[in-house]
Structure 1
Amino acid sequence: MADPDPLRVVHSPVIAPPRPIPEDDNPYKPEIIPVTSQNSLEPGVLRVAIHEGLGLSVPQSEAALEHGNGPSSITSQSEGGLISPLSDHDGLPYATLELDGFEISVSATSGTRENPVWSTKLGNRIHEKKFDIFRAAELTVRLYAKNPDHREGSQDALFLGCAKMNPVFGDEVQTEWLPLKNGTGKLHVEVEYVKMKTLRIETKRSGTVGQSRLGSVARFRNSGSSSCYAAIHIQKADLSPRCDVMQVLLLPVNNGPFIAPLNFIAQTRSHFCLFWLFVSGGHLFYHLQRAQRFHSDRARLYAAETLVALERLDEVDPSYHELRPKNILLDSVGHVVICDLGLLHLEMKNVESTSDSAGVDYLAPELLAGNASAPTDATASKWWTLGAFLFEMLTGLPPFYDEDVEQRCRNILSEPLVVSGLLPASAQDLLNKLLTRKPEDRLGFNGASEIKAHRYFDGLDWDKVAWREYEPEFKPHELAMRFVQEGKRETIESVIASFSGFSWGTPTPVQKDPAVPAAVESHPVANEKTEDWELVWQRQDQSFYFYNRSTKTKKPIVAARPYLLKRPDKTQEALGAVLKNKYMHLVPRMLEEYSVNLNFELDFRQTSPLNYVTELQEVDIVRLFLANGADANLEPGSTLGGRPLLSAVQKGNQELVQMLVQRTDRIPCTRALGHAVSKQDTAIINILLANGVMCDFEEADRPKPAGNWNCNGDFDDMNATMGDASEPEEYMPPLVKAIGLGDADLVRLLLAHGANVNVGYHDSSILLPGGILYRLGHTYMECGRPIQLAMELGHEDLVRLLLENGADISLPQPVWRHHVCKMIPREVHHQLTARLRTIAASIA
């Protein structure tokens, strides 16, 4: 096999002469420690700009793809994937630039799909991208285009080909026309290498992304180039006297395929700062959790790339046997990347080794039993781990799984392996041979070539695998998510207890804003009667006022909020005053004598007249307003609309619900059904369902959150705050709310009226006494499907009911393009998956 490392192994590395220790101790401005080696460069920045493409081949329809014509594709949603970062100009291609593991996307801005333009001028700095440079590396450009025939479950982005360039890293600007491989056409690319003026690097921290025995791993961005790193700061005093931290830069593992290299080391007065490229695609096993399981072709490529990485590790570090799910990530293209601080072998003072139950699932039996003694045992144990990973990718659970960790260990040591007969025969055979207990009988004992030759990998070109030339079908969006193995949470009982002493029915007193005047300057008089008040139009000054027949007193009508941009007219202002003072006897005559547009915002309260009288349960006035053109779907200041029906449901007024449901649009009707379910108001639920209210929302119904993908590639997720414009609790499927309440009768009722038993949900909340929605820590299934929530909440009766009504436990997790679902702790995910499968098997 050809050498998979384009940089080759570093020969005769030399640490540059020691530099004075910096006096500054600012962790965000460490000083880079230079290294001299065969392929090292002075630290610098490579500026890259794509100018244009010529003669690209872009499929015009999906029909060509179905018949095997056209470029390869990426499926971004069919297995619970995330949305690919497409161009703002959706019809134009976009490119990903990769250099030494760093990846940046750049979209075409003009031209056509066949001849796109990124930058019209050579030397134009506006569209250039910058890469930090510490050693010579090859530049790879990959091109993609949005699939014009995309629909859920189909191909989202089309791979158009790739081009490679070897930068000179000299003083000259380098421009080349690069031919596309696996596609047609060429790209005009310009690069320029600029040496750093100073070795001090300025960084910005953007959150913790992991934890290791050496400390927290944080995400940093270089202010000068926008390159993103994962970094750990180690106190110099904590290092063992025998440990030379600079030697880790020279380890051969830094040049291994599919292994994240340590890019550079910097220092402050008291710390060493180790920087790796930030692997942006998230954890492989997070994506497995989202998909439930991978189909054989997808799992095959991940297993092949992991095998190549383990083969390299076996060459340069034979004793390494600690690969865990948390160490396997995906880059932005979708290739496997192994990230493990254990590969550095840093010796620390007073740092105890740690372990977790996750290690048991993938630990070879000879290591679990403590019988390994020779390096060959460690080598063979790697192939057991590979087999365990492949088993979980294909089935969704580790081999020998049991909720009890001790029983799991006994299973690994003595129980027979059970492989699903639904898997391809080649996969079954490979798993049985990799998960053989005797190391000497295990496939791979005589070398990785044994595994590569297995028929499961037939058709793979191992040189292409090592050179990352296969285009993964799944392309992840940029993620900065912590890997979560075990879960700790509050119980529902503890949550309720935390609210003890709170009066559920007592509203919180609201302080009146002294800056806002009353809508009517009222001077109460003894023995005043509401029905004695009249509304009078004063022609002289063109205004309304109130007049009391009994007391002969007048009250002018004063605007409560004169600063409103859209001011009510005189009649609307008068109607607002009538409603505020609850002079309801004046409403019919006012509507009869004056032409009042009822669709406006009251100036004393941010709501409509219709919703206001609905809250007061003034049934006759509601009926009158509807007869005079009040729109039940317009609600000032609300992103939701349809507030009157929601108010009627909250009040439990069946007559108003019956009246308003016929005038309210689909989306607020389904929201109202959700409110009724939360109140467990069966009578109102039946009224809504009898009027044809839908039990489910459509995917596009929920508004986009206020957050966006920010400059760090993170999503500013505001879903946990009251300021979330998408109002997740309003768009929670009613069926999910019924399951959260554990109400089997409501679940049956909703299913009988067409509720989707497999509906997806996001940002779940649970209803506590008094209608309080609790969303912090009550459940790990904040996103998922009804049957998963029922299982986590322990409602086995509901699980069986859902299964009887067609629930599918094998579906991938739901996707909402404006939201990134959190990782469920793997311990919890495995438990829920195993329990659901057990119950489903008992029913079948």
Structure 2
Amino acid sequence: MSWKLSKKLKARLDLAANQSTSAPNPAASTPSLLISTLKFPGILTVTLHEAAGLSAGDDHYRELFGGYERNLGTPDRPSYHQQYYLPYAVLDYERSQVSIPSILGTTESPQWRVEHGAAVKFDVSRAAAELTVYLYLRNPKAARGSSQDVSLGVVRLNPFDGATGSGPQWLELQDGTGRIRISLEYTHVENPTFEPDGVEFARLSITAKNVVMVRKKDTQRRYARKTVPAAELVSVSEGARRRRRINHPFIAPLAFTFESPKGLQLYTPFISGGHLFYHQRSQRFDVDRARFYTAEVVCALECLHDLDIVGWLKPGNVLLDSLGHVVLCSSGLFRSQKIRRTPEYPAPEVLLEGIVGSQSCAADWWTLGIFLYEMLTGLPPFYDDASPNIRDKIHSQPIEFPGSPALPPSATDILSKLLDRSPEKRLGAGGAEQVKGHAFFEGIDWQKVLRRGYEPTYKPGYFVGIFEPHGVDPLAEEPQEQFATVGFSYTGEQPESRCGTVSATADNLWWAVEHGDLDLVKTFLPKTTNDRVTATRCLGLAVDLQNIALVNALLENGARCDFEDSDRPPPRNRRDNGCVFNDESEPKEYMPPLVRAVVHGNLELVELLLKHGADVNVGYHSLEWDIGSETVGFSCGRVVQLAAELGHFQMVRLLLENGADIHLRQPVWEVKGHACAFVPRGVYQRVIAGLRHTTKGLVR
């Protein structure tokens, strides 16, 4: 549906349309206008056509892409490999983000097509939102899963500012060279109704409490639907009024609401990158990356405090979008204060005064200090396995700073001032400008931060998970303000879900094993004994480290030596063409510990694992590690064959003495996306002959 236009304006638009051409000249284009007086809500359609003059910088470009440049694609059938070296675009409108790969042209002059998803629809409820188009070029020399894509530039515009054109138009790139041709069209929706039957549920492997991802039928945009039970609601109209006042680049907007007898449904754009602290996985961020995230959170807090909104800053509310920028999500404005949850490590005054009505701006700055400390050191400053102990530590434990690696003085200073137990003396008590002016943020251009002008060093991949809080909150057993999160790849493909989730305790145990901290391993083990797969994976890691003490600790606390066949997730196999198998099932993580011990040639570990019941005939798949200067021929085989191939003859005898059967058939993993590789004939003959000879020697 469309809107009514005055005769004078209609004549002006008709004249502009008649003068337009099918292929506008980059130097001159006279599009019609999107007028700021248009009615809302409606649908904005953005269509990408082509770009010209793109460059990543001459020297840098040649270094990264030398030898990969080519004229790519044909109008009929561009191949995946051709498309991989073409730029892709990410469209962002009200934190709804869509990735669109170009399919034709060259790296400097890519082309998009409507039939390949180049026309994207966004829901519009107000005229103040900015449309941003980012252009990137993949780095073909970067390892898979890395985030080293090269930014080619960005276009920022408000479609309804009275100056932006509709129809095809060329726009100059900012922070880059070249231009891009796009079209904008707006359609007003008369008497919109947005009810549960107006959306279709998208498939997710996991959802958070009262949160589900939905897809709006007419625009195909994805939203997180959070349900606030009726018993927890405060004034819906006042909450909605205050919530809609929030218009900030680092806060997820409220797109739609629907009230029912069961409660209130809140629809916000689905933030696809996952929770910020999920990406940390109990390890440190470097100082620059921590500063980047903290600066974006500071800007979000400044906006919220200006609107007299406090208490939003909780780890479960801080997510990353697909580009790696921070986005805060919360339904707190619609909840009674008696129901609102505190942060994991609340400020001392919050603990003293109780939960109700105790949050303040100063308490939010304390929480920011908790966040920054965890990002820089790997753990919160008052961490303890028992919640009551956390309370005591918040009140009395001095702030300590780990010495390896040493934090810069500006970091320790800002942490000390943010974590001052006196709210009146705490950094930020005088407003956000106090925090922004600290030496830790020296050199930060805060206007550039607000423009999202700093390029994130990390772009999230594909993540599915629930944030699991741990702290003093008595309601911490329930997920707090959670959003099930799914990321997407920039190829436009929606990745398939992976099996299982990883709990915070499992992450902690993995971190402790990885860092060889025996005391922490013993602390986290009791919490993980019921997670058989995690315990076995950690045992494999300890074997890789060849740490006998850690291996003993895990075995003595019930860690099993072997996986079950169903433990390892099957390959995702997205690009399998029937001949080439693309195994992305993380085979190293599910390699049996006994196999790892043989790879390392550690006889003591082999004996220890056998003593604790390791399967002497265990099979394995996808062993593609390089051993010295050679590659393993038995990439799918049994452990005794591997020991023989590597020339570990004492291990071979030990395995045979413990019941290894050389006559068993090769293991076969019959899942789509995996094909057990053939063993080279020469390797097979040498190994089998050696095993038979050794067996005869044992019989005698």
After TM superposition, the score normalised by the length of structure 1 is 0.49
Q: Is 1:462 aligned to residue 446 of structure 2? A: yes
Q: CA deviation at 1:223?
A: 1.7
Whether 1:325 and 2:293 are equivalent positions in the alignment is no
8 Å CA contact 2:56–2:176 kept in 1: the answer is: no
| Secondary structure of 1:390 counterpart | helix
Which residue in 2 is equivalent to 1:265?
257
**Contact in 1 for aligned 2:91/2:132 (Cα 8 Å):** yes
Residue matched to 1:791: none
Q: Does 1:314 align with 2:305?
A: yes
| Residues 100 and 322 of structure 1: CA distance in aligned 2, closer, same or farther (over 3 Å) | closer
Q: Is the 8 A contact 2:252 2:268 kept in 1?
A: yes
Equivalent residue, structure 2, for 1:353: 339
1:205 aligns with 2:71: no
Match of 1:365 in 2: 348
Change (3 A) 1:271 1:406: closer
Q: Deviations for 1:351-382, whole angstroms, at most 9, x for unmatched residues?
A: x73758xx342x1111122289998x712111
Q: Which runs of 5+ in 2 are unaligned?
A: 1-35, 65-79, 471-502, 507-525, 533-539, 544-567, 576-580, 606-611, 620-672, 674-700
Q: How does 1:348-747 map to 2 (within 5 A)?
A: 353=339, 359-361=343-345, 363-370=346-353, 378-421=360-403, 422-485=406-469, 705-706=571-572, 708=574, 734=591, 737-738=593-594
CA distance in structure 1 between the partners assigned to 2:61 and 2:174 by the alignment: 23
Equivalent residue number for residue 600 of structure 2: 751
Q: CA deviation at 1:190?
A: 0.6
How far residue 200 of structure 1 moved from its aligned partner, in angstroms, is 3.6
User: 2:463 and 2:82 mapped to 1: Cα distance?
Assistant: 20
Tell me how far 1:750 sits from its aligned partner.
4.5
Q: Which residue of 1 aligns with 2:246?
A: 254
Q: Distance in 2 between matches of 1:471 and 1:304?
A: 13
What's the secondary structure of 1:181's corresponding residue? Answer: coil
- Residue number in structure 2 paired with 1:625: none
Alignment of 1:171-320 (within 5 A): 173-196=166-189, 199-201=192-194, 202-206=198-202, 207=204, 211=208, 216-233=210-227, 238=231, 243-245=235-237, 247-251=239-243, 253-266=245-258, 272-289=264-281, 292-318=283-309, 320=310
1:447-501 CA-to-partner distances (Å, cap 9, x unmatched) read 11111111110111111112222111111135443223365999998799xxxxx
Contact 2:100–2:117 (8 Å) recurs in 1: no
Compared with structure 1, are the counterparts of its residues 142 and 767 closer, same or farther at alpha carbon in structure 2 (3 Å cutoff)? farther
**In structure 2, the residue corresponding to 1:262 is in which secondary structure?**
coil
Could you give the per-residue CA deviations for residues 514-545 of structure 1, whole angstroms, max 9, x where no partner exists? Answer: xxxxxxxxxxxxxxxxxxxxxxxxxxxxxxxx
1:742-776 Cα shifts (integer Å, max 9, x gaps): xxxx87665346999xxxxxxxxx99989999xxx
Aligned residue for 1:254, secondary structure, equals coil
Per-residue CA deviation, residues 88-129 of structure 1 (Å, 9 max, x unaligned), is 71211001011121111111111111111113xxx8796311
CA distance, structure 1, for counterparts of residue 604 and residue 326 of structure 2: 39
Counterpart amino acid of residue 132 in structure 2: T
Change (3 A) 1:253 1:55: same
Matched position secondary structure for 1:42:
coil
Matching of residue 51 in structure 1 with residue 37 in structure 2: no
CA distance in 2, matches of 1:156, 1:463: 25
SS in 2 for 1:89: helix
SS in 1 for 2:265: strand
- 1:401 and 1:269 mapped to 2: Cα distance? 41
Secondary structure of 2:384's counterpart equals: coil
Q: How many angstroms does 1:321 deviate by?
A: 2.5
8 Å contact kept, 2:39–2:188: no
- Paired with 2:527 and 2:398, the residues of 1 have a C-alpha distance of 37
Residues 50 and 110 in structure 2, CA contact (< 8 A), matched pair in contact too:
yes
Q: Is the 8 A contact 1:172 1:192 kept in 2?
A: no
Shift of 1:443: 1.2
2:437 and 2:45 map into 1 onto residues whose CA distance is 42
Higher alpha-carbon Rg: 1
Report if the CA contact (8 A) 1:88-1:107 is conserved: no
The one-character-per-residue Cα deviations of 1:564-584 (angstroms, maximum 9, x if unpaired) are xxxxxxxxxxxxxxxxxxxxx
Equivalent residue for 1:94?
A: 88
Q: Which amino acid aligns with 1:341?
A: S
What are the Cα deviations for residues 138-178 of structure 1, in whole angstroms up to 9, with x where unaligned?
A: 21111100114324797630011101233249998433211
**Distance in 1 (alpha carbons) for counterparts of 2:304 and 2:584:** 49
The answer on whether the counterparts of 1:58 and 1:114 sit within 8 Å (CA) in structure 2 is no
CA distance in structure 2 between the aligned counterparts of 1:289 and 1:144, rounded to whole angstroms: 27
Deviation at 1:188, TM superposition (A): 0.6
| Helix, strand or coil at the partner of 1:432 | helix
Matched to 1:45, the amino acid is I
Give the share of equivalent positions with the same residue, in percent.
Answer: 36
The separation in 2 between residues aligned to 1:247 and 1:410, in whole angstroms, is 35
Match of 1:682 in 2: none
Distance 1:272 1:430, change over 3 A: closer
* Alpha-carbon displacement from aligned partner over 1:269-319 (angstroms, at most 9, x marks no partner): 8764321111111110011117x111111110100111111111112125x
Aligned residue identity for 1:467: R
Between the aligned partners of 1:182 and 1:364, the Cα distance in structure 2 is 41
Structure 1 stretches lacking a partner, 5+ long: 1-37, 67-85, 497-673, 678-701, 710-723, 739-745, 757-765, 774-817, 819-844
- After superposition, the Cα gap between the structure-2 partners of 1:370 and 1:139, relative to the gap in structure 1 and judged at 3 Å, is same
8 Å Cα contact 1:245-1:346 kept in structure 2: no
Instruction: Give the CA deviation at 1:413.
Output: 0.7
- Measured in 1, the distance between the counterparts of 2:600 and 2:174 equals 52
Whole-angstrom distance in 2 between the partners of 1:495 and 1:423: 35
Amino acid at match of 1:366: E
One-letter code aligned to 1:345: F
CA RMSD of aligned residues (A): 4.3
TM-score in terms of structure 2 length: 0.58
Q: 2:45 corresponds to which letter in structure 1?
A: R
CA deviations 1:34-72 (Å, max 9, x no partner) are xxxx99942222111111111111356658789xxxxxx
Shift of 1:414: 0.8
Alpha-carbon distance change, 725 to 305 in structure 1, aligned in 2, over 3 angstroms: closer
- Which position in structure 2 is the counterpart of 1:523? none
Checking the alignment, whether the CA contact within 8 Å between 2:365 and 2:427 is kept in structure 1 is yes
* 1:732–1:99 distance in 2 versus 1, CA, 3 Å: closer
Query: Do the aligned residues in 2 keep the contact of 1:380 with 1:444 (CA within 8 Å)?
Result: yes
Task: Give distance in 2, aligned partners of 1:227 and 1:767.
Answer: 52
User: Which SS does the other structure have where 2:125 is aligned?
Assistant: strand
Per-residue displacement from partner, 1:627-666 (whole Å, max 9, x unpaired)? xxxxxxxxxxxxxxxxxxxxxxxxxxxxxxxxxxxxxxxx
CA distance, structure 2, for counterparts of residue 96 and residue 725 of structure 1? 26
For 2:126, the equivalent position in structure 1 comes to 135
- Cα deviation, 1:700-730, whole Å, max 9, x if unaligned, reads xx99824649xxxxxxxxxxxxxx9959697
Q: Using the TM superposition, name which of 203-212 and 328-337 deviates more.
A: 203-212
Q: What does 1:148-163 correspond to in 2, within 5 Å? A: 148-151=140-143, 156-163=148-155
Query: In 1, are the aligned partners of 2:92 and 2:131 still within 8 Å (CA)?
Result: yes
